[in-house]
Amino acid sequence: MSKIKIGMIGLGTVASGVFKTLQDFDNIEIVKIAVRDINKPRNIENLDKNLLTTDAMSIVNDKSIDVIVELIGGVEPAKTLITTAILNGKHVVTANKELLAKHGEELFDLAEKNNKVILYEGAIAGGIPLIMPIKTILAANKISKIEAILNGTTNYILTNMDMKHASYDDVLKEAQNLGYAEADPTADVEGFDAAYKLATLATISLNKRIKINDIYREGISKVTADDIKYANELGYKIKLIAHAELTDENTADVRVHPMFVSKSTTLAHIDYVTNAVTITGFPIGQVTLSGPGAGEFPTASSVAGDIIVLSHEIGTTDYILPMMRCNHSSSVKVTNILDTVNKYYLSLTVSNKVGVIGKLGLICADKGISLASVLQKGVSDDNTANIIIITELCKEKDILEVIDLLQKEGCINKLNSMIRVANDV
């Protein structure tokens, strides 16, 4: 069996896991690895430094290399390196969710034009087998909805806020100290990471190209300990949910934001750094795939799996892996968040006086919004009360109009929180 020659770009945590994993495969040879610093200590025993170079371009231009494995992340220089690799006749394996979200259409089109394949199992949900199952085993299904937890950092924070009855700021600091959150956690806690992943996941699942700039994004930084407490009392957990669904109007509802998720559902019990994806379609019905969403070996498992698949295909046919190629020729209009239909959790501070709750209910009724539950949570020293409301289904623009009217009418002193409530997943 001839060996497939691999050129790696990057040797960080995941790339180190890939390197270690591939040592057990006789038909794969890693011939060059691009790094920033050749002399940096690495967690790899007996690493041959002759494999290392600081010139990444020399790897993508090396005619002897069959597959480029890009594991540096970000847009540049990754985009230039992958583009050059494809033009030089190389297949690509990547775990770069940001690059695929922002430039996937361009790169996949370039790959097809040059009869090359880009595989990206590690870019969406770490070690969870997802892309290949959707493209192969689930290929007979018309997938109508995806509900997913795609970011381990935010799930860790929300889980600990729940378990420890702690504030967002306190748990974030703990997560940073433990290495679960970056010093600058913005990409995770404000939903960018999950949105990048969802752009690609929604595209392959709904079979329509979804543009990253069309995805509504909201993070978890405004979720309070009280929100977590009230969610539990009402039978829910709060999770950062990546949602994609085809609508009856032939548009796509694609968004990332915190949601109340019923405790009766699987996603409500996905805790700490674990990820999960619930797929709804016909004829499968509903299936949930769950597992480690990040880390050295979980993500390395997905990346190495892509490499192994390529190693068995290269040289067998002039057109390899047709099912794994991008076949999305059209985009779809994404529903504006104001036109989405949801249930809502509202936490309101109101004056403790007769008729306030009644007036609140009347204003909601005038706008056609039914209330599923209304709870008053005690009276403060300043004679205000906290009112917790769960609405029935309504359009976002209508609930925002109601909130504006309530404030103008003096019915509420403050909107503390507004969080969307998931239909049972």
Inside any domain, residue 95 = yes
Residues marked as catalytic:
197
Q: Which residue has the tokens 């992943």?
A: 197
Q: Which residues of the chain have pLDDT under 70?
A: 1, 424-425
- Asked, for residue 113, whether it belongs to a domain, the answer is yes
pLDDT tens sequence across 220-259: 999 999 999 999 999 999 999 999 999 888 899 999 999 9
Same-domain check for residues 275 and 308: no
The answer to whether residues 8 and 121 belong to one domain is yes
Which residues neighbour 181 within 8 Å (Cβ) at sequence distance 6 or greater? Answer: 153, 156, 157, 172, 175, 188, 189
Judgement on whether residues 8 and 108 belong to the same structural domain of the protein? yes
Confirm whether 330 is domain-assigned.
Answer: no
- Tokens 């623009």, residue located: 397
> Does the predicted TM-score (pTM) go above 0.75?
yes
Q: How many domains does the chain have?
A: 3
Tokens coding 334? 């994404």
The answer to the question of residue 225 being in a domain is yes
**Same structural domain for residues 285 and 179?**
yes
Q: Residue 101 is part of which domain span? A: 4-126+296-324
User: pLDDT digits over 325-338, tens only?
Assistant: 987 777 889 999 99
Pair 288, 301 in one domain: no
